[in-house]
Chain A
Amino acid sequence: MTIVKEKFDVVVIGAGHAGCEAALACARLGLETIVFTMSADNIAFMPCNPHIGGSSKGHLVREIDALGGEMGKNIDKTFLQSKMLNTSKGPAVHSLRCQADKMEYSKEMRKVLEAQEHLCIKQAEVSEILFEEVSDDLKKEGYTNKIVGVKIFSGIIYEAKAVILCTGTYLKSRCLTGEAITYSGPNGLLPSNLLSASLIDAGIELRRFKTGTPARMDGNTIDYSKMSEQFGDTPVVPFSFDTDPKDVQRPQVSCWLTYTNEKTHEIIKANIDRSPIYAGIIEGVGPRYCPSIEDKVIKFPDHERHQVFVEPEGTFTNEMYIDGMSSSMPEDVQIAMYRTVPGLENCRIVKNAYAIEYDCLCPGQLHANLEIKTTRGLFSAGQFNGSSGYEEAAAQGLYAGINAAMQIFNKESLYIDRSEGYIGVLVDDLVTKENLEPYRMMTSRAEYRLLLRQDNADIRLRKKGYEIGLISEEQYNKLCTKIDLIDKEVTRLKNTVVGANATIQKFMEKVGTPSLKTATSLAELICRPELSYKLIEDIDPDRQAIPDDVIEQVEITIRYEGYINRQERQVEQFKKLEKKKIPADINYDDVGSLRLEARQKLERFRPTNIGQASRIGGVNPADISVLIIYLDSLRRGSADEN
């Protein structure tokens, strides 16, 4: 066969949630991009749960949108139900979650990809990455080789300046239901069995991770009368900052809540030795935070029940997703255990629960821009990097896509630090931590979450998206207007004082708040828990009409000012260490007093600044002091030379 060579700027391997964002970002920035998928009919496929968003993941979706990604817009088009979670708590943990129509989600994303200029979709298995030796200059930066393209199974070569690995759970994957093992990708899709060997050839270290999914039930066999109905919110708040709220007010589909019970747990305990994990058949490490029902029963032996949400997979099917009961138990145990749950007594399983094992990247091999350290131009995102979840994948896909483009344009990388976004926390954790299990985004991982709210993702990140070129002039101007309105309104409310006169006191009484002792600013009134911006309208005659999203920011800014200020001071402290750069060519053997473990960890992760170094497991504060002093002496040394 003659060797056919095709030329692209960027090759994206995989068209899941990471791959779609990566490919769209590159193509939108004008780079000729090709995205490979094992199945073009399963683009942006959701092989596990049918939601987008949720606690802290909703933040990621908002941030993706702020930077110019697609996920938020796509779910706004295709959700079946939408809910703002944790509204009883502070604004930092409010999080939007949507039930997706899986088929529609995938179809809509496919349309977006197909309509995108500079973007090709190709159904094929990439079997090899192609690389060559690097120049001495690049060697100094730590690269051992340089990507030049990929080869697909048929032998055709696609040359590229950058390749982005978004292989999800498909690399040498196998699915386990008890003793039954299928060598396939999720949901019976083809696995990708060849690429791993080629990555290992390039010097990349791989490991095995595991994740799992619950059974899908025939909806006709479920007795919903024994479950409690879970409704969506009205009105619905859209995910995307560009979606008109009017466009998302539509009829919603309900979910259902039921519980496991002692019988369920008995069955699980009696059969625990048949679980491939507990029997030792699964070598891959699973996520603690997304545990199977077996794990939950073992981990919380005194819990009498666990929540089970029964959720629609879409309007194209009556299959229901049994959220909270993922499992890798054998089929007979599954049938028995699901049937103990109220409402599922007569259920029939359409698709068994299963665990899936796959190859992914060992930690310590990623630069902060998601490029693989040894291979110039090879980026990676999503589950391949050891994360789990659609949103985590999409966020990394966007980040890697942008940074591949920045490298091709010879521009500075996009960098979001831990105080700027959940994306920053996610990437930093993946880059600096060992992550011995699939990494899931969680609110608790963000130290500065009062600043990193889902409601202000646009204020935090749109400017970056604009500078990159994924946010248009018009979108950016809209944001500037919003910020301006917020500032002016906050100032006005702080400076508008109402006197303790009879009219005001009467109003105070009417709204059920203590009367004024002295003249008080409107801002102070808003701080009272029983009052709000809208409630004090009557005593604020100068008020101009402002949009709801502006009101939200104004209220949060005023109410939580003290907390926000204190957190900002913590951020200042954090930034000091982030600003202490570590030279790329540092030789840790020169830093004499470092303990061996710290030296090895630093050598492996090669952090770019002191802050990053301090977060690497096994590097303690004394090691950091050593490093700071060493860097100081370097600086002084070079100053002396001059």
Chain B
Amino acid sequence: MPGVLRTFSNDTICAIATAMSDAGIGIIRVSGPQALSICDTVYLSSKKEHTLLSHEPNTIKFGYICDGEEIIDEVMISFMKAPHSYTMEDVIEINSHGGMLVMNSILNLLLDKGCRLAEPGEFTKRAFLNGRIDLTKAEAVMDIISAQNNFAFESSKGQLQGKLSSKIRSLREKILYEMAFIESALDDPENYDLTGYPEKLKAIVDPMKKEIASLIETADEGKIRKDGIKTVIVGKPNAGKSSLLNALTGDERAIVTDIAGTTRDVIEETVRLGDIVLHVIDTAGIRDTEDIIEKIGVDKAKSKIEEADLILYILDSTNEIDSEDKDIIELCKSKKTIVLLNKNDLSDNIKITEDIIRMHFSDSSNDHLPIIRTSMLKGNGISELKDAISELFFNGDIVPKQEIYITNVRHKDLLNKAFNSLELVLDSISKNLSEDFYTVDLTGAYEALGEILGEEIGDDLVEEIFSKFCMGK
């Protein structure tokens, strides 16, 4: 809109807040000073009157959305009056039938009547800007929307309830107290005694550092819990990779044939094993090949192994381990790996045992290499595989045991920054520097933690975060 100043809260925004699919119910959300008056122009009560302006806050009304004479849909309308709403502005939610056509018609009607289409994340942005939520909560909203599994959802919900905020806040308070104490002592040495203070401070900073470290440690697990485990299936051609993928996904996406090299490209699937999410990549069989098309697949597979969190190495236990297997084992040695000994149903012909595998993996970083006997044909071994994965990544606790998981890269970076600053404080103490030096790095830690909460004003932070939001929230 050239030349027009758009200040976000003088205008009224609207968007479809539910998923854009033909679901049973759809919600169109309207927020801003004219929410009520605009909606009133398109709303008719069951008695065919424009009665929205007398709508009691926090109640739901039945009625119709009409474009002039024409009734578009039967709806329920709820009204939340400022500041008691998500955005702290007047908010109207129109519960319509979920058809995309219906929702779009209502949306277009509202736009015609003077609403503006909300930018991605704009409702939450307003909630933040109006002071209802802090930055970690705003980020949590974004995460909840995109949550892939129950954990991601729970962890975001925890963040939204302010678990992370309150933890960070209490760390900040402790730091602030020490900063204030040092300052007071500098300004008023008569009444604030610094004798023995460095030791005292060390005793306070040490556990704080540990606390931050343990938060940072949850980041890897948190990320895996939230985003899922990047899993690569490797194995020689025809060992049963695609069958494994099919057994996991429950349909036959990958082509399963007896001809070696049928899977030419990398297939990616998201698989849910209870609360564990696997992003499974089936790779072309790794083997020395002259076939160019297949070679591309093999190279890709190798690079996928590099990025993977987990390797599922599947072998045909009726064949001896050969040089190709040894190549694969080399690739697996530095990664979390689970070995699947397949075709175990052909029990009279078993050539590879657990001991043989362990011998080949003896110099790898996999201390307790899980080895599972499977039969893809019969579907045996899948639940053992699930247990092994859970053991490997969550020490067997599928249910998260930490209260807080760091699932956001920005948070992790800032926690690292705070951690380093506290380390520098300890360094100053060990070097016998005077108290006034401690404040430089205490301030560093304090500010980094504050940035997580949005209480230190980072430059373009706000814009950056909200640009990632999806529509309608």
**A interface residue numbers (CB < 8 A to B):** 55-56, 86, 88-90, 92-93, 289, 300, 303, 306-307, 442-444, 447, 449-450, 529, 560, 562-563, 566-567, 570, 573, 576-577, 590-593, 595, 610, 614, 620-626, 628-630, 632-634, 637, 640-641
Of A93, A306, A629, A633, the contact of B436 (CB 8 Å cutoff): A93
State in angstroms the CA–CA spacing of A212 and B433 once bound together. Answer: 37
State in angstroms the CA–CA spacing of A562 and B424 once bound together. Answer: 10
State in angstroms the CA–CA spacing of A447 and B440 once bound together. Answer: 9
Residues of A within 8 A of B8 (CB): 592-593, 629, 633
Docked-complex contact A592 and B444, CB < 8 angstroms:
no
Docked-complex contact A443 and B190, CB < 8 angstroms:
no
Of A443, A450, A566, A576, the contact of B187 (CB 8 Å cutoff): A443
Of B1, B7, B10, B434, the contact of A640 (CB 8 Å cutoff): B1
Docked-complex contact B457 and A624, CB < 8 angstroms:
yes
B57 interface residue, CB < 8 Å from A?
no
Docked-complex contact A625 and B129, CB < 8 angstroms:
yes
State in angstroms the CA–CA spacing of A88 and B432 once bound together. Answer: 11
B437 interface residue, CB < 8 Å from A?
yes
Q: Which residue of A lies closest to B441 (CB)?
A: A566
Docked-complex contact B6 and A633, CB < 8 angstroms:
yes
**B interface residue numbers (CB < 8 A to A):** 1-10, 126, 128-131, 134, 183-184, 186-188, 190-191, 424, 431-437, 440-441, 443-444, 447, 454-457, 459, 462-463
Top 7 nearest A-B pairs (CB, nearest first) are: A592-B9, A444-B183, A89-B434, A593-B9, A640-B2, A637-B5, A622-B131
Of B2, B424, B454, the contact of A621 (CB 8 Å cutoff): B454
Residues of A within 8 A of B129 (CB): 593, 622, 625-626, 629
Docked-complex contact B431 and A443, CB < 8 angstroms:
no
Report B449 CB to chain A, min CB distance, Å: 13
Residue pairs across A and B with Cβ atoms less than 8 A apart, 8 shown, are: A55-B187, A593-B129, A621-B455, A621-B456, A622-B134, A626-B129, A633-B7, A637-B3
Q: Which residue of B lies closest to A634 (CB)?
A: B5
Docked-complex contact B463 and A629, CB < 8 angstroms:
yes
Report A122 CB to chain B, min CB distance, Å: 39
Q: Which residue of B lies closest to A590 (CB)?
A: B7
Docked-complex contact B437 and A90, CB < 8 angstroms:
yes
Docked-complex contact B3 and A640, CB < 8 angstroms:
yes
State in angstroms the CA–CA spacing of A578 and B60 once bound together. Answer: 48
Report B22 CB to chain A, min CB distance, Å: 36
Chain A binding surface, main DSSP class: helix
Report B417 CB to chain A, min CB distance, Å: 11
Known interface pairs A622-B129, A625-B128; A576-B7 also in contact (CB < 8 Å): no
Docked-complex contact A447 and B183, CB < 8 angstroms:
no
Of A306, A563, A576, A610, the contact of B440 (CB 8 Å cutoff): A563
Docked-complex contact B6 and A442, CB < 8 angstroms:
no
Residues of B within 8 A of A560 (CB): 437
Residues of B within 8 A of A637 (CB): 3-6
State in angstroms the CA–CA spacing of A586 and B463 once bound together. Answer: 22
Most A CB within 10 A of own CB, among B134, B183, B186 = B186
Known interface pairs A576-B459, A637-B5; A447-B10 also in contact (CB < 8 Å): no
Residues of B within 8 A of A630 (CB): 7
State in angstroms the CA–CA spacing of A289 and B183 once bound together. Answer: 13
Docked-complex contact B131 and A444, CB < 8 angstroms:
no
Known interface pairs A89-B434, A89-B436, A563-B440; A592-B10 also in contact (CB < 8 Å): yes
Of A55, A447, A622, A634, the contact of B128 (CB 8 Å cutoff): A622
Docked-complex contact A625 and B462, CB < 8 angstroms:
yes
Most A CB within 10 A of own CB, among B128, B130, B187, B433 = B187
Docked-complex contact A444 and B186, CB < 8 angstroms:
yes
State in angstroms the CA–CA spacing of A623 and B128 once bound together. Answer: 10
Docked-complex contact B126 and A593, CB < 8 angstroms:
yes
Q: Which residue of B lies closest to A55 (CB)?
A: B187
Residues of B within 8 A of A641 (CB): 2-3
Residues of A within 8 A of B440 (CB): 450, 563, 566-567, 570
Q: Which residue of B lies closest to A289 (CB)?
A: B187
Known interface pairs A590-B7, A630-B7; A92-B441 also in contact (CB < 8 Å): no
Docked-complex contact A90 and B131, CB < 8 angstroms:
no
Docked-complex contact A88 and B434, CB < 8 angstroms:
yes
Docked-complex contact B434 and A90, CB < 8 angstroms:
yes
Residues of B within 8 A of A92 (CB): 436
State in angstroms the CA–CA spacing of A416 and B107 once bound together. Answer: 53
Q: Which residue of A lies closest to B443 (CB)?
A: A570
Residues of A within 8 A of B3 (CB): 637, 640-641
Q: Which residue of B lies closest to A567 (CB)?
A: B440
Of A55, A300, A623, A625, the contact of B186 (CB 8 Å cutoff): A55
Report A198 CB to chain B, min CB distance, Å: 38
Report A239 CB to chain B, min CB distance, Å: 21
Report B459 CB to chain A, min CB distance, Å: 6
Residues of A within 8 A of B4 (CB): 637, 640
Docked-complex contact A90 and B462, CB < 8 angstroms:
no
Q: What 17 new A-B contacts, CB under 8 Å, besides A570-B447, A622-B130? A: A89-B434, A90-B433, A93-B436, A289-B187, A307-B190, A450-B440, A566-B424, A566-B440, A566-B444, A567-B440, A577-B457, A590-B7, A595-B130, A610-B457, A621-B455, A621-B457, A623-B131
Of B5, B126, B443, the contact of A633 (CB 8 Å cutoff): B5
Most A CB within 10 A of own CB, among B3, B435, B440, B455 = B440
State in angstroms the CA–CA spacing of A629 and B464 once bound together. Answer: 12
Most B CB within 10 A of own CB, among A86, A89, A289, A625 = A625
State in angstroms the CA–CA spacing of A610 and B462 once bound together. Answer: 15
Residues of B within 8 A of A303 (CB): 191
Known interface pairs A621-B456, A632-B463, A640-B1; A593-B187 also in contact (CB < 8 Å): no
Most B CB within 10 A of own CB, among A529, A560, A630 = A630
Residues of A within 8 A of B433 (CB): 90
Docked-complex contact B434 and A629, CB < 8 angstroms:
no
Residues of B within 8 A of A56 (CB): 187
Q: Which residue of B lies closest to A564 (CB)?
A: B440
Report B171 CB to chain A, min CB distance, Å: 17
Residues of A within 8 A of B2 (CB): 640-641
Q: Which residue of A lies closest to B89 (CB)?
A: A593
Report A161 CB to chain B, min CB distance, Å: 38
State in angstroms the CA–CA spacing of A626 and B414 once bound together. Answer: 23
Residues of B within 8 A of A89 (CB): 186, 434-436
Report A311 CB to chain B, min CB distance, Å: 16
Report B432 CB to chain A, min CB distance, Å: 7
Docked-complex contact A300 and B191, CB < 8 angstroms:
yes
Known interface pairs A444-B184, A633-B6, A634-B5; A625-B457 also in contact (CB < 8 Å): yes
State in angstroms the CA–CA spacing of A614 and B459 once bound together. Answer: 13
Report A389 CB to chain B, min CB distance, Å: 13
State in angstroms the CA–CA spacing of A289 and B431 once bound together. Answer: 32
Docked-complex contact B454 and A625, CB < 8 angstroms:
yes
Residues of B within 8 A of A573 (CB): 447
Docked-complex contact B10 and A93, CB < 8 angstroms:
no
Residues of B within 8 A of A566 (CB): 424, 440-441, 444
Q: Which residue of A lies closest to B466 (CB)?
A: A629
Report A172 CB to chain B, min CB distance, Å: 31
Report A54 CB to chain B, min CB distance, Å: 11
State in angstroms the CA–CA spacing of A395 and B309 once bound together. Answer: 62
Q: Which residue of A lies closest to B180 (CB)?
A: A444
Q: Which residue of B lies closest to A450 (CB)?
A: B440
State in angstroms the CA–CA spacing of A640 and B441 once bound together. Answer: 43
Residues of A within 8 A of B128 (CB): 622, 625
State in angstroms the CA–CA spacing of A218 and B51 once bound together. Answer: 87
Residues of A within 8 A of B462 (CB): 625, 628-629
